[in-house]
A and B are shown apart, each in its own frame.
Chain A
Amino acid sequence: MTASPSAGVGRERNVSVRDTDVVLEADNLSTYFPVRTGLLGGGSGAVVKAVDRVSFDIRRGEVFGLVGESGSGKTTLGRTLLKLVDPTSGAIRYLGRDLAPLSEREMRPLRRELALIFQDPNASLNPAMTIVQGVGHPLRIHGITSSRAQTRARVAEMLERVGLSPAENFLDKYPEDISGGQKQRLVIARALITEPTFVVADEPVAALDMSVRAKVLELMLDLQRDLGLTYLFITHDLATARFVCDRIGILYLGQLVEWGRSDTLFDDPQHPYTRALLDAIPLPDPGRRDRDKRLPRGEVPDALHPPTGCRFHPRCPEAFEVCGWQGADLIDFLEDRWTTVDADTFEAESAATGPLSGVEVSRYAVRFPAADASHLLPLLRDLRDARAGRVFSAVDDVTEDRGGVAVTFRDGPEPALQPVAGRQVACHLHGVVAREDSEAIA
């Protein structure tokens, strides 16, 4: 037993990777899922853009982190890169070859080079197979070993490598016979037994207790060094990402908002969303609990109806005129406001707007058809003049309209990634740069 808890494992950054040595490149990659609605699932033509025009590259020997909240598309992106999900458009260049158009049959010989480590070991291990059968399975599928004895020897070697030692004690056991931490080692052994080049690890330690997490991460990093692996590390945990990853991409609603070297991003984040994520992490240091946190309001919106312009703008503590404000944002503002005013003010103001369910909301306008214009006009104009909410920065006009009240908005383009202080950021705060492939607005 190690006597000193200070005997820890540090992280040697892989700084020697050359720019040109790209293992995998996503080029304007999109993965859309049709949404089935209606009784017969006929569909409404609506799609969820789980991954939406994403470009980045992963270099040989690095750990590239994909960080995002639920609904960010990080898992879909990881699976798309491995062609476990077919992309809707764009290219996936693996060692220069585009995987996107390949059929499953054409992919098969490449499968042993591309591996996936799942979060939930219980879901990725067949409970009916012994460890030697389960871990050895890919060897047989790919015809890497030809005899039972050969498979057993290779599995034993791999088990030793992931710290399940002596392997003889594990080979004929079932997954249920071992602990959670050991199971995750097993999942890693299974993923790496075909000696892959590129490994997607999707939340590999999220299901583990803190005291065993470090061991599994340590193992993954050791194996990376010893076997020359390149990882895509998918996580929602920025602290782990910071420790493990050489470079990081921050995903929000299917798009990269900031990506670059992990020390660059963490030391000096340039996208308000990256800053928000960092501010929100609970720190195990009670001395810093009163630090200034600029938490964004609300939650990640429905991916079926992503906000226009910059997708983060409705929650952004720094959003301004050009960020893509739309009709729905004014309704959100009013509802938020009504949580802070007294009951009488709420009654008066909601009487002036009329029922919100009847309000006509579009990209550039909101119309309150049942409004009491004599009250709503001055109210909205006062709120605008007082800049009561960021949404008012983009309000063009507040007018009486066919007996109701209409509010119109100025345009705000979708931000393009631009180089800022050594990383790529998609944010108008650094200069308004519109995406050239910006979507047409309905």
Chain B
Amino acid sequence: MTDHVVANRAPAGGPEPVLRVRELVAEYATPRGALAAVDGVSFDLHPGESLGLVGESGCGKSTLGRALLQLMPPGGAVRGRVELGGRDLVGASLPVLREIRGKDVALVFQEPMTRLDPLMRVSDHFVEAIRAHRPGTSRREARAMGRAALAQMGIPPTRADNYPHEFSGGMRQRIMIALGIVLRPQLIIADEPTTALDVIVEAQILDILDALRRDSSVGLILITHNLGIVAETCDRVAVMYAGKIVEIGDVRQVFSAPKHPYTKGLLASTISLETTRLHSIDGTPPDLVTPPPGCRYAPRCPFVMAHCTDAVPLYAEPEPGQLAACYLYPGANADGRATPREDAEVAR
């Protein structure tokens, strides 16, 4: 594997990454054949760092989140490597995965109600979760830990013994986060954690996630379709298209000077308070059972060149730390066959 494939390498002598993902492939079986929803994804995540995984429906971002923890539905398969604290999770046994999922990694999903047992008091969720991973903990101790975690999330201790349905949507999401962090995980994976919430509550939850990873150096992977959320909360961003990360880099760099044409299109089509003109991307994403040859964005790309469909582009590094899988930049071609032409100037 070349260095270029390894998106965002650790600086020499820097801290070991919490998570190291290499050439990850996540496939579903369909009647028409295998569909690689995630197709060769590599990245590192460092302690206290937040990475936004952003893209539109069907790009593979949610599958990637699940594949990291081997949570694929029946008929799904994962290949590649997912190293968490040095341990490879691909192919790990179920007991090992269960241990990791509850303790080392917290998962926060869009709809918390589906993860909370409606017949169990909130405090009992904590007792169960804590004692499953730390059997020596007393009930009393576990309840106190739960109360503290809830208070940190803004849930009054007087509500700890209520049932999940007695809370609003935003409160339930706070409870899920409290449950996730009570055992001090190294990593939080949050998949559209605020999509079901109103904008003010969304901002409150994002503040909480941001404070968490700043204060406890936990790594955060935030999966979202909302570029605004990434800009508000993430250090780095990985833009996904058709199962691949097409661009990854520092949030400020990527948002101010996107390199991949898809990133440019996505940013331009985002409607913000400053929007004075509407933009959109022509065409639709490809069918992943039979993906197009070469660059998967080529059929929609306004900068497409003749050789874009010859082979899958490698990562070029047009700016230090900012990688784009695009032939517009030197380094994307594997064998020097394809070189950017005058058209490339348009992209700069």
Determine if B171 is an interface residue (Cβ-Cβ < 8 Å): yes
Question: Do A179 and B284 have beta carbons less than 8 Å apart?
Answer: yes
With A284-B227, A295-B207, A343-B148: A211-B280 Cβ-Cβ less than 8 Å: yes
CB-defined contacts of A210 to chain B, threshold 8 Å:
56, 225, 227, 266, 269-271
Question: Do A4 and B200 have beta carbons less than 8 Å apart?
Answer: no
State the majority secondary structure of interface residues on B: helix
Q: Give bound CA distance, A147 to B271, whole Å.
A: 43
Question: Do B278 and A9 have beta carbons less than 8 Å apart?
Answer: yes
Question: Do A214 and B204 have beta carbons less than 8 Å apart?
Answer: no
Question: Do A211 and B278 have beta carbons less than 8 Å apart?
Answer: no
CB-defined contacts of A9 to chain B, threshold 8 Å:
277-278
Contact of A339 among B157, B202, B203 (CB under 8 A): B157
Question: Do A299 and B171 have beta carbons less than 8 Å apart?
Answer: yes
Question: Do B201 and A5 have beta carbons less than 8 Å apart?
Answer: no
With A69-B199, A210-B225, A277-B200: A239-B273 Cβ-Cβ less than 8 Å: yes
Question: Do A236 and B199 have beta carbons less than 8 Å apart?
Answer: yes
Over the window 190-219 of chain A, the binary record of Cβ atoms lying under 8 Å from chain B Cβ atoms (1 yes, 0 no) is: 000000000000000000011111110110
Question: Do B199 and A3 have beta carbons less than 8 Å apart?
Answer: no
Query: For B168, B272, B284, which residue has the most chain A Cβ atoms within 10 angstroms?
Result: B272
Query: For B203, B227, B267, B271, which residue has the most chain A Cβ atoms within 10 angstroms?
Result: B271
Over the window 26-66 of chain B, the binary record of Cβ atoms lying under 8 Å from chain A Cβ atoms (1 yes, 0 no) is: 00000000000000000000000000000011000000000
Question: Do B255 and A243 have beta carbons less than 8 Å apart?
Answer: no
Determine if B288 is an interface residue (Cβ-Cβ < 8 Å): no
CB-defined contacts of A20 to chain B, threshold 8 Å:
none
Contact of A335 among B156, B170, B227, B268 (CB under 8 A): B156
Over the window 337-373 of chain A, the binary record of Cβ atoms lying under 8 Å from chain B Cβ atoms (1 yes, 0 no) is: 0111001001000100000100000000000000000
User: Which of the 9-residue segments A89-97, A120-128, A285-293 touches chain B?
Assistant: A285-293
Question: Do B231 and A283 have beta carbons less than 8 Å apart?
Answer: yes
CB-defined contacts of A276 to chain B, threshold 8 Å:
200
Q: How far is the CB of A3 from chain B (nearest CB, A)?
A: 5
Q: How far is the CB of B131 from chain A (nearest CB, A)?
A: 20
Over the window 266-307 of chain B, the binary record of Cβ atoms lying under 8 Å from chain A Cβ atoms (1 yes, 0 no) is: 111111110111111110100000000000000000100000
Determine if B198 is an interface residue (Cβ-Cβ < 8 Å): yes
Query: For A8, A69, A278, which residue has the most chain B Cβ atoms within 10 angstroms?
Result: A8
Query: For B144, B251, B269, B282, which residue has the most chain A Cβ atoms within 10 angstroms?
Result: B269
Q: Give bound CA distance, A211 to B232, whole Å.
A: 20
Determine if A282 is an interface residue (Cβ-Cβ < 8 Å): yes
Q: Give bound CA distance, A242 to B276, whole Å.
A: 10
Query: For B169, B199, B280, which residue has the most chain A Cβ atoms within 10 angstroms?
Result: B280
Over the window 180-213 of chain B, the binary record of Cβ atoms lying under 8 Å from chain A Cβ atoms (1 yes, 0 no) is: 0000000000000000001111111011000000
Question: Do B273 and A242 have beta carbons less than 8 Å apart?
Answer: yes
Over the window 272-309 of chain A, the binary record of Cβ atoms lying under 8 Å from chain B Cβ atoms (1 yes, 0 no) is: 00001111111111110100010110011000000000
Question: Do A214 and B255 have beta carbons less than 8 Å apart?
Answer: no
Q: Give bound CA distance, A8 to B255, whole Å.
A: 19
CB-defined contacts of A279 to chain B, threshold 8 Å:
203
CB-defined contacts of A264 to chain B, threshold 8 Å:
none
Q: Give bound CA distance, A214 to B56, whole Å.
A: 14
Determine if A88 is an interface residue (Cβ-Cβ < 8 Å): no
Determine if B159 is an interface residue (Cβ-Cβ < 8 Å): yes
Question: Do B56 and A209 have beta carbons less than 8 Å apart?
Answer: yes
Q: How far is the CB of A74 from chain B (nearest CB, A)?
A: 12
Q: Give bound CA distance, A4 to B347, whole Å.
A: 10
Question: Do B302 and A4 have beta carbons less than 8 Å apart?
Answer: yes
Closest-by-CB residue of A relative to B254 is A286
CB-defined contacts of B168 to chain A, threshold 8 Å:
299
CB-defined contacts of A209 to chain B, threshold 8 Å:
56-57, 225
With A214-B280, A239-B271, A239-B275: A339-B155 Cβ-Cβ less than 8 Å: yes
Question: Do B232 and A283 have beta carbons less than 8 Å apart?
Answer: yes
Question: Do B157 and A346 have beta carbons less than 8 Å apart?
Answer: yes
With A9-B278, A70-B198, A356-B158: A282-B232 Cβ-Cβ less than 8 Å: yes
Question: Do B271 and A240 have beta carbons less than 8 Å apart?
Answer: yes
Determine if B265 is an interface residue (Cβ-Cβ < 8 Å): yes
CB-defined contacts of A286 to chain B, threshold 8 Å:
231-232, 251-252, 255-256
Question: Do A287 and B252 have beta carbons less than 8 Å apart?
Answer: yes
Q: How far is the CB of B157 from chain A (nearest CB, A)?
A: 6
Determine if A441 is an interface residue (Cβ-Cβ < 8 Å): no
Q: How far is the CB of A120 from chain B (nearest CB, A)?
A: 14
Q: Give bound CA distance, A266 to B275, whole Å.
A: 13
CB-defined contacts of B265 to chain A, threshold 8 Å:
5, 211
Q: How far is the CB of A2 from chain B (nearest CB, A)?
A: 7
CB-defined contacts of B275 to chain A, threshold 8 Å:
239, 242-243
Question: Do B280 and A212 have beta carbons less than 8 Å apart?
Answer: yes
CB-defined contacts of A338 to chain B, threshold 8 Å:
151, 156-158
- CB-CB contacts below 8 Å: B207-227 with A: 207, 225-227
Closest-by-CB residue of B relative to A216 is B280
Determine if B90 is an interface residue (Cβ-Cβ < 8 Å): no
Determine if B71 is an interface residue (Cβ-Cβ < 8 Å): no
Q: Give bound CA distance, A279 to B204, whole Å.
A: 11
Question: Do A1 and B204 have beta carbons less than 8 Å apart?
Answer: no
Q: How far is the CB of B81 from chain A (nearest CB, A)?
A: 30
Determine if A104 is an interface residue (Cβ-Cβ < 8 Å): no
Q: How far is the CB of A269 from chain B (nearest CB, A)?
A: 12
CB-defined contacts of A284 to chain B, threshold 8 Å:
227-228, 230-231, 255, 267, 270, 272
Q: Can you list 26 residue pairs at the A/B interface with Cβ under 8 Å?
A: A2-B302, A3-B302, A8-B268, A9-B277, A10-B277, A69-B199, A210-B225, A210-B269, A211-B266, A211-B281, A213-B280, A214-B278, A236-B199, A282-B228, A284-B228, A286-B256, A289-B231, A293-B203, A295-B200, A299-B170, A336-B154, A338-B156, A338-B157, A339-B154, A339-B157, A356-B158
